[in-house]
Amino acid sequence: MPNQERGRMSTAGKIIKCKAAVLWDVKQPFSIEDVEVAPPKAYEVRIKILATGICRSDDHVMSGNLIAKFPVIVGHEATGIIESVGEGVSKVKPGDKVIPLCLPQCGKCSSCIHPNGNLCVKFLLSRKGVLSDGTTRFTCKGKPVYHFINTSTFTEYTVVEEDSVLKIDADAPPEKICLIGCAFSTGYGAAIKTAKVTPGSTCAIFGLGGVGLSIIMGCKAAGASRIIGVDINSRKFEKAKAVGATECVNPKHHTKPISEVLKEMTGDSVEFTFEAVGQDETVIEALASCHMSYGISVVIGCPPPSKMLTYDPMLLFTGRTWKGCTFGGWKSKDDLPKLVSDFMAKKFDLDKLVTHVLPFNKIKEGFDLLHKGESIRTVLTF
């Protein structure tokens, strides 16, 4: 029996003690702890994480902008290897390389059944921080530690449900393909699947982080001829242009609202706008920036909880379409295999999105790079 196989079998069915980055409470720093990861129950799998990206949504949990149950292990953009499986698991086996899916596809709920739905009911249930049986598989210092959006990947081992895992090619590079677990799919899908960007069109993208840059890649792949990046951090412009932006604008360099600036730049013909910042002001600005009659504006960012937007209904009355999407609008299990095979066939590359690769124990450094606006994606490796 190969050593690797024997190693896996020696842990199957047993509690694994390993390192994880625990958030004990809101606004507290990550604490690398020894945690216990219970074996997977029925229809669950335990995954050894190989690489995991740092996304702004993880930071939103730390800051309190995204509600989660504490203590929690966040992280949701990863690649791993199945270590063991629970009873009844049939679609994956130990040794398979996988991407955990923050958006599961149960195949049974109203969103999964409808051809245009993708927000599976299991995503909404995951807000409680537990798996389907109402319990958690993580323990630290004798206390339960909660799960985060069906993934929890800032740990050497995690447990997720079978519905929440996608098998990928054994030779896929972990520190790149993990981006298909969030940033790339969210942004690329917002352009291709949700907005359905058309050839020759003009697009404007608000927010040039990992998600915004992936939107640019989607607009480019759809054949848009003008792609305008909007960000208050001009240091993001070089990267945005490298992935396909034709020009970039910094709202801080203008006194007029950016919707006016874009109108002047384009002669009033921005067809598609995307909000990938997560602030109410930019949600409204993006809406106002698309063409009054045929423009489509897509909300990707998640504004802070309990915020209400005020907007002029005339913006919609004239004909604009206002949409939102999670995970780009993709049905995760149905649609991601094509993204994975396109990546493996080199139809797009993820290199430009990964600006930093750090060992897992440097997680705080990774978040510092995000806070300072220096990184697009930092990927942590184990």
Catalytic residues: 55, 57, 60, 76, 182
- Between 118 and 186, whose beta carbon lies closer to ligand COD? 186
For tokens 């124990």, the residue is 361
Distance CA 362, CA 128 (A): 28
x-or-dash string of contact with ligand COD, 311-340, rule CB under 6 A: ---------------x--------------
HSE on the CB side for 264, CA within 13 Å? 7
CB of 347 to ligand COD, least distance (A): 22
Residue 366 contacts which entry, Zn ion, ligand COD, none (Cβ below 5-8 A, type-dependent) = none
Does residue number 118 form part of the binding site for Zn ion (CB under 5 A)? no
Which residue, 89 or 211, has its beta carbon nearer to ligand COD?
211
Only segment of 161-169, 204-212, 329-337, 343-351 that touches ligand COD (CB under 6 A): 204-212
Q: What tokens were used for 218?
A: 């989607």
User: Which DSSP state fits 24?
Assistant: -
* Sign of torsion over alpha carbons 328, 231, 250, 219: negative
Looking at the chain, how many residues does it have?
A: 382
Whether residue 54 contacts residue 76, with contact meaning beta carbons closer than 8 Å, is answered with no
Which of the ranges 83-91, 174-182, 238-246, 306-314 carries the binding residues for Zn ion, by CB under 5 A? 174-182
Tell me the backbone φ, ψ of residue 45, rounded to 5 degrees.
-130, 150
182 binds ligand COD (CB under 6 A): yes
Among 30-38, 124-132, 208-216, 312-320, the segment contacting ligand COD (CB under 6 A): 208-216
E strand or H helix at 157 = strand 157-161
H or E stretch covering 85: strand 77-85
Q: For residue 281, what is the enclosing H or E element?
A: helix 280-289
Q: How far, rounded to the nearest angstrom, does the alpha carbon of residue 97 sit from its chain's CA centroid?
A: 19
Site string for Zn ion, 94-113 (x = CB under 5 A): ------------x--x--x-
359 preceded by a cis bond (ω within 30 of 0): no
Cβ proximity to ligand COD, 8 vs 331, nearer residue? 331
- 55 interacts with Zn ion by CB under 5 A: yes
- Pick one of 57, 79, 194, 282: the residue that binds Zn ion (CB under 5 A): 57
Partner whose binding site includes residue 106, from ligand COD, Zn ion, none (CB under 5 to 8 Å by kind): Zn ion
Q: Does 350 bind ligand COD (CB under 6 A)?
A: no
